[in-house]
Amino acid sequence: MEKIRGFEIAKGFENKEINLPVRKTKYSAGYDIEAAEDTVIPSFKKGMNPTLVKTGLKAYMQNDEVLLLYNRSSNPKKKGLILANSVGVVDKDYYGNCDNDGHIMFAFYNIKEEDITIKKGEAIGQAVFQKYLVSDNDIAEGERTGGFGSTNK
């Protein structure tokens, strides 16, 4: 079978009982993503970095596709969790990169006054595959040389 788009277990997570994402209904755009391990997300303090929540997943896709990561709609109100980057962007060439094999992570801030614990297997967000367009004068020729946050390095 030809691989078109989908999810796989990232290296280092093969024996950690990671569930591949699923859509819950036939008209859902997003695949529900779970946490790969228990993670404490501390209450926000000025100057702190977001907490990366591991998924144990990587994603493959076509050349003109991107995987967009969205927060669960209930996370801000119920848990005080917001995505540091509003929407995560996973490019095709992130898959299998030399730094982290394309491991997908969600970058959260916790706006509640108390620390929040995400449990392994808990749904943390959604992933949506999407086509994208490039401009007439596009000249992108660079190649990815690393993992999370490595563009332009």
Domain layout of the chain by residue ranges: 6-131
User: In which band, very low, low, confident or very high, does the pLDDT at 141 lie, cut at 50, 70 and 90?
Assistant: confident
Looking at 3.40.50.2300, 3.40.50.300, 3.40.50.1980, 2.70.40.10, the CATH number of the domain 6-131 comes to 2.70.40.10
| 87's tokens | 């929407």
For 38-94, the pLDDT digits (tens) are: 999 999 999 999 999 999 999 999 999 999 999 999 999 999 999 999 999 999 999
> End-to-end distance of the chain based on CA atoms, in angstroms?
35
Does residue 101 sit in helix, strand or coil?
Answer: coil
**Signed CA dihedral, 98, 143, 57, 73: sign only:** positive
Q: How far apart are CA 78 and CA 100, in angstroms?
A: 31
**pLDDT for position 88:** 97
- The pLDDT score that the predictor gives to residue 153 is 52
Q: Is the dihedral of CA 55, 147, 127, 62 positive or negative?
A: negative
In the three-class reduction of DSSP (H, G, I as helix; E, B as strand; rest coil), residue 28 is classed as coil
